[in-house]
Structures are given as structure tokens and as C-alpha cells.
Amino acid sequence: MKKYKIAVIVGSLRKESFNLKTAKALIALAPESLSLEILNIADLPMFNEDLEATPPNEWVTFREQIIAADGLLFLTPEYNRSVPAVLKNAIDIGSRPYGKNSWNGKPAAIVSVSIGPISGFGANHHLRQSLVFVNVHTMAQPEAYIGGATALFDDKGKLINDSTKEFLSGFMEAFEKWVNVNAQQ
């Protein structure tokens, strides 16, 4: 069985982020064929094309990590019906320099996590729009909108809601199949 390297990109920087907690839960629930690693996007300098002459080391490292990945898993909160600036910045950095799109052709999935009942629906779909443009093949089904996040974890950050755990386990099984079919060999 082939082992796929999955880059996990969490769009929330908060230490007690529900998206980060969910990412860790997904890593624990992942099938054996998926090896997931959370990439740090907190320290990426804001994209400025003028810096491409001598790109910051953080950009170079991030682009190399994306290129080395077989697939991508995005987790996003919703900020004002969109994705956080740090996540959009990471997408922009990975898509440049022009003609060297690090994201190109990668299979991906999106999970949006929110404390509210709308479950980050707007951010999830806004992120999909950006990923279409950078040619990321995003899994359509099952969609993952996780709401009511304050009730899903214990005080140590462990996922304790059984129905959410069951859903996320099925989501990861579907993602494994998506990556297996769409990863560039």
C-alpha cells in the first residue's frame, strides 16, 4: 500500500483553535495510507511580488513542503464570510512565482469549523473558489462543515463527540480514496 504525504494547512492561528483541534483529530482518525503533517503558516511574511527577486526563506520552505506533498487538507474558520488573511496569504505564496504554482494538480479536501450553526459554510466555499484557480482538485463529497465546536472537545483538546468523530472518520476514508485516485504518480 502506497503511503501518501498530506500537508495539513490550518487557517486559524489561535492557540486553542477549534480548527487546530479538529486537524489533530483528523490526523488521529486518518487511515494508515495517509501521513499527515500540519504546516506552519503563521510565520509566512505577507505576499509581495517585489520580494520574489530574493524570496524570504519561509516562502521557499513552504513552497517546497507543498511540492513534496501528495495531497492537501485545509481547515478554516470563517472570518466575515471568508477565509482568514493568513490562509489566503499562504495560497498566494504557494501560487507564485508566476508559472511555478506549488499547488498545481494536488488533490485536497476542506473542513470548516465554527462555533456557530452555519459551520463556516461561506469560508469553505470561498476557499474552494481560490483553490479552483490554483488548480487544486478539491473533493466534492462529503462536504465537511463542523458547527457548535465549543461542545465537541474536552479541556485537553480531545474530540469527545461520537457522532462528529464518526463523521470525520468517514470523511477521512473518502479523502483517502480521493487522494489515491487523484495524486500525481
Mean pLDDT of 147-168: 96
Question: Given pLDDT bands bounded at 50, 70 and 90, which one contains residue 185?
Answer: low
Nearest to 171 by CA among 70, 12, 37, 34: 34
Nearest to 44 by CA among 16, 70, 72, 13: 13
Quote the CA–CA distance of 72 and 109 in Å, as a whole number. Answer: 7
- List the grid coordinates of 9: 494547512
Enter the pTM of the model: 0.96
The structural domains of the chain, with segments of one domain joined by +, span 4-182
Place of cell 487546530: 20
Range 4-182 has CATH code 3.40.50.360:
yes
What would the pLDDT profile of 110-144 be if each residue is shown by its tens digit?
999 999 888 889 999 999 999 999 999 999 999 99
d(CA 25, CA 2): 22
pLDDT reading at 31 higher than 70: yes
* Residue 184: predicted pLDDT: 79
- CA dist., res. 34 & res. 175, Å (int): 9
Tens-digit pLDDT profile for residues 37-87: 999 999 999 999 999 999 999 999 999 999 999 999 999 999 888 999 999
Distances, alpha carbon 147 to alpha carbons 14, 49, 83, 115, in Å: 17, 37, 16, 6
